[in-house]
Structure 1
């Protein structure tokens, strides 16, 4: 149930065999994202459970889910970009149906992220699912 944007990241990861190159690619994805407006970086958008500062701001328009996000850590910003590729553009009712763990395993992220980063990634996925269920 992955989006074409996420499938493109999977293809990039298959091409990049070395984990260091993949890591740099994730960081580059984060650099390519537009920064989130400071006015949206409020307690309501902050994701708890992350080692770094993380904000996710969901936007549901016409039943379609998307979100903006930001972090003070470049790798986490890249992980937000990966999650945006996974979820943005889906009908809001489909967002909770995405098996994020399985999809992210296709990238091998769990094997190469610290436990703190993995916990933060899980917290972001949980927040996305919660917001989508509230709006479905």
Structure 2
């Protein structure tokens, strides 16, 4: 499956990183660049359940392509979610269902840093994206 341009650029950046410390710094930077959600979007209806951290997700369909926005109260999760958004934004519902989360984070060189709870949380975010995509 073709990667969205922003995801391909992020992948190259992470693959060029020299070791875990640099990737961790990059992860935080990607999280810091995540556009803020309005407080009105940080409501129970948009909260992703299954994450230990607070994560809110909103999505809208634009010309058959999904655009998601998200926020988290945890810096590491914000970075991971930012990278997930790069991977999925611009995809159609069918493509969204084919996203392989473990493979994406493995390519980025971040899979070893995904604790089971973080992995479960990111899977919950992706599941919520798919739920949104199939209900509209």
**TM value normalised by structure 2:** 0.91
Please give the alpha-carbon distance, in whole angstroms, between the structure 2 residues aligned to 1:118 and 1:92: 22
Contact 1:30–1:79, Cα closer than 8 Å, also in 2:
yes
1:1-136 equivalences under 5 Å are 1=1, 2-135=3-136
- How far is 1:92 from its partner? 3.1
- How far is 1:131 from its partner? 1.5
Partner of 1:44, secondary structure, is helix
Partner of 1:50, secondary structure, is coil
Please give the alpha-carbon distance, in whole angstroms, between the structure 2 residues aligned to 1:109 and 1:118: 11
Query: Residues 14-71 of structure 1: CA distance to partner in whole angstroms, max 9, x if unpaired?
Result: 1112112111111101111210011011111101111110000011122110111000
Structure 2: give runs of 5+ residues left out of the alignment. none
- How far is 1:103 from its partner? 2.1
Contact 1:93–1:133, Cα closer than 8 Å, also in 2:
no
Contact 1:58–1:66, Cα closer than 8 Å, also in 2:
yes
Partner of 1:8, secondary structure, is helix
Please give the alpha-carbon distance, in whole angstroms, between the structure 1 residues aligned to 2:91 and 2:116: 29
**TM value normalised by structure 1:** 0.91
Structure 1: give runs of 5+ residues left out of the alignment. none
The total of aligned residue pairs comes to 135
Let me know the Cα RMSD of the aligned residues: 1.4
